[in-house]
């Protein structure tokens, strides 16, 4: 893993190497420490649970860039690296503050190397959902939280204020309510509330960050009903789907629903409680 | 002439906008829009932000990494003045 400091600029070429695994330099940068911790937790999650060797399963070097741009209130995966802003200081603090956000971005890389789900409409919402699901499990595992102990919130430290988070898998649409700057979380939890948005930049490519609330909720219900640690049962099923060669690039929610049932049956048995929990999850999400 | 910079996208999709008056000729602005035009064929950045520049009734998706030196201060100022537009207000 390598961590670079962009020094609040927007070019990667002149970013300074802050830390790498080989030399393991001492760091004073909080953002740097955060992404090392989150990157290690994510790498460990994929390696120890699924034997996955990094983002591409071929040992790809994880590159993380912190302090990108002036006050950028965002984090992203650009196909080669994870990039984090410091936040605007009013609504958001550093996007390195939560392990789930780091796990989310790294999982975009995993998805890109597996089904490479289209980043639009339902396939795009699934792409986002896989990142949220694995992001939350990476955080839960790091904090040793089972499905009952976890609050299922993503980015609760990134967003300033004790009542706010970026997303909720347990109750999509409630991560922030009546926020003075943002208004309210627009995510639906169920298919009857699916938002048909334009497949444009300003339409969030058909609402990929909006409609992801639906498969997120299906996962939450399934994992909660299985009990224990989410990564032990539900996580195995969703990882099997994510890495299934039969998962089409333009998959929709129904296709992923069917695949989760198929893999739950393969792993746990046709009439198992896990299969029932998966079906219940998608049923409550009205898919 | 007013120009407006709008930012969309991100980890949670937020729209931000800022506008300013500029003393730039229509021809210069037209050239600038051509220079800054975003390559829509480029792979989509996961959770990425996108910028749109509006001049009059004409809006173009732009790549701020392409801003020529003489306009860097203008776009730096616009970026620093971006304000969040609440859901449902745009």
pLDDT, tens only, A138-178: 999 999 999 999 999 999 999 999 999 999 999 999 999 99
Asked if residue A238 has pLDDT above 80, the reply is yes
Average pLDDT over residues A168-193: 97
Provide the mean pLDDT of chain A.
97
CB pair distance less than 8 Å for B64 and A10: yes
Chain A residue numbers with beta carbons less than 8 Å from the beta carbon of B64 are 10
What pLDDT is recorded for position A285? 98
For residue A119, give the nearest of B6, B46, B86 by CB distance: B46
Asked if residue A58 has pLDDT above 50, the reply is yes
Out of A204-213, A272-281, B56-65, pick the least confident: B56-65
Percentage above 90 pLDDT, chain A: 98
CATH assignment of A2-113? 3.10.170.10
CATH level 3 topology of A153-284 = Neutral Protease; domain 2 (1.10.390)
Asked if residue A49 has pLDDT above 90, the reply is yes
Q: Tokens representing A209?
A: 């960050």
Distance from CA of B21 to the nearest CA of A (A): 23
Distance from CA of A182 to the nearest CA of B (A): 5
pLDDT class of B87 with cuts at 50, 70, 90:
low
What part of A 167-206 touches B (C-beta under 8 Å)? 167, 181-184, 186, 201-202, 204-205
Q: What is the pTM of this model?
A: 0.97
What pLDDT is recorded for position B88? 55
Q: A205 with B65: CB under 8 angstroms?
A: no
Asked if residue B90 has pLDDT above 50, the reply is no
Domains of chain A, by residue range, sit at 2-113, 153-284
For residue B65, give the nearest of A10, A104, A204 by CB distance: A10
Q: B47 with A108: CB under 8 angstroms?
A: yes
**B64: nearest CA in chain A?**
A10
Question: Which value, in Å, is the radius of gyration of the alpha carbons in chain B?
Answer: 13
**A204: nearest CA in chain B?**
B9
A105 is catalytic: yes
A181 is catalytic: no
């Amino acid at each position: 893993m390598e961590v670079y400091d962009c020094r609040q600029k927007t070019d990667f070429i002149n970013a300074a190497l802050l830390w790498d695994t080989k030399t393991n330099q001492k760091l004073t940068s909080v953002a740097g420490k955060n992404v090392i911790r989150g990157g290690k937790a994510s790498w460990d999650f994929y390696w120890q649970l699924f034997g996955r060797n990094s983002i591409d399963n071929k040992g790809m070097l994880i590159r993380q860039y912190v302090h990108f741009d002036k006050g950028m209130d965002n984090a992203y995966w650009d196909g080669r690296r994870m990039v984090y802003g410091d936040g605007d200081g009013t609504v958001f603090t550093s996007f390195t503050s939560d392990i789930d956000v780091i796990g989310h971005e790294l999982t975009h890389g995993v998805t890109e190397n597996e089904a490479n789900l289209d980043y639009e409409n339902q396939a795009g919402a699934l792409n986002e959902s896989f990142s949220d699901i694995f992001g939350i499990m990476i955080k839960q595992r790091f904090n040793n939280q089972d499905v009952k102990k976890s609050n299922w919130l993503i980015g609760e430290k990134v967003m300033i204020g004790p009542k706010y988070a970026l997303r909720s898998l347990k109750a999509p649409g409630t991560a922030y309510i009546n926020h003075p700057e943002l208004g309210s979380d627009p995510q639906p939890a169920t298919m009857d509330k699916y938002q048909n948005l334009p497949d444009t930049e300003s339409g969030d490519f058909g609402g990929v960050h909006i409609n992801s609330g639906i498969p997120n909720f299906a996962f939450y219900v399934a994992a909660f009903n299985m009990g224990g640690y989410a990564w032990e049962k539900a996580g195995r099923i969703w990882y099997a789907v994510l890495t299934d060669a039969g998962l089409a690039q333009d998959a929709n929610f129904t296709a992923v629903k069917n695949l989760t049932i198929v893999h739950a049956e393969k792993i746990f048995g046709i009439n198992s409680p896990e299969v029932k929990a998966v079906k219940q999850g998608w049923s409550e999400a009205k898919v | 002439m007013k120009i407006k910079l709008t930012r969309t996208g991100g980890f949670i999709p937020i729209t931000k906008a800022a506008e300013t008056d500029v003393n730039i000729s229509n021809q210069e602005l037209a050239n600038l829009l051509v220079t800054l035009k975003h390559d829509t064929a480029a792979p989509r950045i996961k959770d990425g932000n996108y910028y749109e520049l509006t001049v009059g009734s004409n809006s173009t998706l732009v790549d701020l990494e392409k801003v020529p030196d003489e306009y860097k201060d203008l776009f730096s100022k616009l970026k620093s003045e971006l304000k969040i537009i609440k859901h449902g207000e745009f």
